[in-house]
Amino acid sequence: MSDDFNAKMKLLIKSEKALLALEMRKKSRQSVWIALALLAVLVGLIMLNVTVYLLLSEHYSNLVSAAILSGLNILVAALFLLVASRQDRGAEVQSIEDIRDFAWEQISTDIDEVKQNVADFKQSVSNVKSTVDNFTSGDAFGLKKIMPVITTLIELNKKK
């Protein structure tokens, strides 16, 4: 059982490591996209803001030009953040999670079996202890209860 349990634990550990590696890969890709989004937004806003503000200031007041630029800046940032949030875990994650769940089930079953074996052993020890206690108290086979009957029979046998 020990080798089987060790194999199940190794399977569980490998599946957890694989899930962690996939999650780290996902997070690193998201981080790259977010960094690119922030860089693009920053450079784009600097260049675009100057250009668009100059263009808009010819046709609108300074306040309206600034409001239009703010709306465009928010739209660009939202677009990049949307791309970053679309990173999914993929199909391989589901199969690894199934393996992990199977390993947890098997380990749980083994632990329950060990608990039952310990409970059975405890019950056996308790039974042996009660038998030893009966034997040492002079009542090995329930003799104390029938001792008066035995002594009476012995006395009757002596009288004959």
Between the CA atoms of 39, 45, 51 and 54, what dihedral angle is there, to the nearest 10 degrees?
-160
- pTM of the entire predicted model: 0.38
Confirm if 1 and 107 have CB atoms less than 8 A apart.
Answer: no
For residues 110 and 39, what is the distance between their CA atoms, to the nearest angstrom? 53
Q: Tell me the pLDDT band of 131, cut-offs 50, 70 and 90.
A: low
Q: What is the pLDDT of residues 38-90, one digit of tens each?
A: 898 788 778 877 887 888 889 989 888 888 888 888 898 899 889 888 877 67
Helix (H, G, I), strand (E, B) or coil at 137: coil
